[in-house]
Amino acid sequence: MHNHMKQGKYTVETFARKQNLSRQSAINTLSRLKKRGYVHVSGGGSQLRIYQISKLPQQPTNGFYDIANRYSTEKLFPLFQHRVIGRYTIEHAIIDGIRIGDARTLEATMHLFRHVTNWKRLMDLAKKHRCASEVQRLYKKARDTIKLRRMPERYK
């Protein structure tokens, strides 16, 4: 990252003004920085696009907290950065939520049962991590409070 760039939040226009660049040069610079991981983009569409510049490259997270916050009404603040390489599904997230195990996390994890597509994968992962009874207990608790599809009989 260039030394003369300050970390902070910018729109394209404010970044161009601050760096004394044309708008197109600012877009190109932000794009290059984004590819290298120094810029995180939020907003867009009908909102203003905000570019957050950091001094160190940021690795994107794609783990439990991203999935939990996408599907749950109970939003969680990440206790740790969770990066996953490869495929990470709702079923993996349910197991991780149970393994994290605090009350707010379990509350958010209950909402993930609405989006389970592969019950076999969920139960196989539960057996692998030795938490099948916890999965069933959390499912029953979730079923009492949230409208859920039924778990197939063979997994009960």
Give phi and psi for 126, each to the nearest 5. Answer: -65, -40
The verdict on residue 102 lying in a domain is yes
Number of domains in the chain: 2
pLDDT band at 3 (very low <50, low <70, confident <90, very high): low
* Number of neighbouring beta carbons within 10 Å of residue 7: 13
Residues 47, 67, 109, 116, Cα dihedral to 10°: 120
The verdict on residue 155 lying in a domain is no
The verdict on residue 59 lying in a domain is no
Break the chain down into helix, strand, coil percent, rounded to 5: 50, 5, 40
The verdict on residue 83 lying in a domain is yes
**Are residues 89 and 146 located together in one domain of the fold?**
yes
Which pLDDT tens digit goes with each residue over 87-146? Answer: 899 999 999 999 998 899 999 999 999 999 999 999 999 999 999 999 999 999 999 998
The verdict on residue 1 lying in a domain is no
**Are residues 96 and 143 located together in one domain of the fold?**
yes
Tell me the CATH number at 19.
1.10.10.10
Q: How far apart are CA 133 and CA 153, in angstroms?
A: 15
The verdict on residue 105 lying in a domain is yes
Residue type, 43: G
Q: 29 is in which domain, residue-wise? A: 8-53
pLDDT of residue 1: 56
The verdict on residue 3 lying in a domain is no
The verdict on residue 101 lying in a domain is yes
Please, what sign has the CA dihedral across residues 20, 22, 28, 30?
A: positive
Burial of 136 (0-12, 13-18, 19+ CB in 10 A): middle
**Are residues 69 and 113 located together in one domain of the fold?**
yes
